[in-house]
Amino acid sequence: MSKNIKHLVVDTTAFIKAASLQDIAENVYTVQEVIDEITNDRQRRKLVVLPYDLIVKDVFTENIKFVTDFSKKTGDYRSLSATDIKVIALTYQLEKEKVGTDHLKTEPTTQKVVKVTGLANYNSNGNSADDSEKINQETGEPSEKTDGETGEVNTVDKIVPQTDNIASNEDNGNDDEEMEAEEIAEQIKNMDIKEENVDEIIVKVNEEEEQSESEEDSDSDSDGGDWITPGNVAEKKKEMELGDFEDKSVEVACTTSDFAMQNVLKQIGLNVTSVDGRIIKHLRTFIFRCTTCFKTTSVMTKVFCPKCGHSTLKKVGVSIDDDGVQHIHINGRKPLTARGKKFSLPTPRGGQHFQYPILTEDQHIHKRFATKLARNKTNAMDPDYTAGFSPFAARDVNSKSAVLGVRANKQDLKYWMKNCYKGKKK
């Protein structure tokens, strides 16, 4: 089997499904975070005895920053984890090293519906000037050009004969309908069948002819296609999916089943493959739709609706047809839920570590600053100072914030959906 991909970046899905990547790629790459996500013992044993060489490569910071900014513009940033961003960044890094960046995009492409108005020889009603003149001539409406009394008389003369013709046509149409009704009634009267003529009309048909006719009908009903059996299910499924996949040779590609990752990769211009090595062609785009005011926004980093201000934004799919019209696809199988709405808002309390629920976009957030004791401990010029990643670094485990699990700049945006009066498990 020919290997269509020269450099393939692999996500966790390929290792979980135990895909035969040695048949579709020459070199297989991944990041360390992907290997760390595999925690199952059976999958780890398979990871040790892979039939190909797995290259673990580091990603440059500039590539991670580019992918992060790009995913925010496409609206997939909130659906991506840190590992997903690193996998995309590694694909971008290999594409930049092996192929180049001339064919890659720095901004996601957006299509908008443009309503064309104010063109020459174009009316707001959708008819051109020539069409309006034709309509005036056919219907006999008076034109704008009139010469005093003679013009008025001429227009009336034009209208009257046409109305006479219309009336005569209506009369002729009614007469024709009456004639057809009379003819049909006479034919029905002549169709009276007497008991003596029944045997002459009914003809006996042989049983052999009936069987041959039934066989012909059954043959005509069958479409001539093959039946789907357990043996050819995989082949039929691939035939049905040929509209979304294609087989071609590429230099660098990434295999993943995450829709958000696929969308970002395709928007950048990178190649995306399925687990079996076929290139994915089509894109999926998402926007936010407010369930309160039904307004949409493409800024996927928002939590509150920019129109009504409520936190009722839901992620919906979007597609654009050939005319450039945007269509929103709402998942009806996922109904709206009122989970957490029955709990009242917590009573405001003082203290340094109390988390107030964020209810509006312009709400003032209580800032937490390091204490004087903590600032004294963080002395980078101290010869005994150890960095934060050192195994000998001193970590705070006794303070109130450490006991409560408070993390700076990580507010719980959906604090109001939890029962604040529920006691902790002991």
Binding residues for Zn(2+): 290, 293, 305, 308
Both tokens of 375, joined, read: 């600032």
Q: Is the dihedral of CA 21, 22, 26, 31 positive or negative?
A: positive
Distance (Å) of CA 37 to CA 13, 187, 254 = 10, 84, 18
For 141-146, which contacts have Cβ atoms below 8 Å and span 24 or more sequence positions?
none
The SS3 call for residue 314 is strand
> How far apart (Å, rounded) are the C-alpha atoms in residues 364 and 410?
14
Helix 259-268 / helix 61-74 crossing angle, nearest 10 deg: 100
Q: Are 91 and 265 in contact (CB under 8 A)?
A: yes
Which H or E element spans position 152? Answer: helix 148-190
> How far apart (Å, rounded) are the C-alpha atoms in residues 79 and 91?
18
Name the binding residues. Answer: 290, 293, 305, 308
> How far apart (Å, rounded) are the C-alpha atoms in residues 394 and 374?
12
> How far apart (Å, rounded) are the C-alpha atoms in residues 268 and 266?
5
Among the listed residues 74, 44, 81, 27, the one whose alpha carbon sits nearest the alpha carbon of residue 254? 27
> Which are the contacts of 193, defined by CB distance < 8 A and separation ≥ 6?
201
